[in-house]
Amino acid sequence: MNLSLSLLGISNNLINDLSSSKYMTNLDNLTSCCNQIKKLDSNMFSQANRLEWIDLSYNQIQIIDSMAFNGTMVLHLDLAGNPISSIETNFQEVKMKQIHFSIQCHQQF
């Protein structure tokens, strides 16, 4: 019997690393919000070539490597509520239908 996981919800689990993408080969939906992920590394999702929907909202993501989604077919990426400080220039070449950033700016005069 060959079981394949297509939807994975691992929110609110204090997860700080998703580097084991070899276990994501059949995923098409990943929800990992409200964890402690700090960086999206190069080829992080390279084994997850069926992945279309990623929710990484409300983590601690500060840096996004331009090749983090290399080889994927991601259509929707939710990064709301992350303290993103750096997105590499080539990230603009990523072909997604929807990327959600929620940016809160607080200025003091």
**CATH number, residue 21:** 3.80.10.10
Residue 109 lies in a domain: no
Report the C-alpha gap between 40 and 33 in whole angstroms: 14
User: What percent of the chain lies above the pLDDT cut of 90?
Assistant: 38
Residue 82 lies in a domain: yes
Please indicate whether residue 88 or residue 12 has the higher confidence score (pLDDT).
12
| Number of neighbouring beta carbons within 10 Å of residue 15 | 14
| pLDDT single digits (tens) 56-96 | 999 999 988 888 888 788 889 999 999 988 777 666 556 66
Domains identified in the chain, total number: 1
Please indicate whether residue 46 or residue 2 has the higher confidence score (pLDDT).
46
Residue 1 lies in a domain: no
Can you give the residue range of the structural domain that contains 77? 8-102
Residue 63 lies in a domain: yes
Residue 3 lies in a domain: no
| pLDDT single digits (tens) 31-44 | 999 999 999 988 88
pTM of the model: 0.82
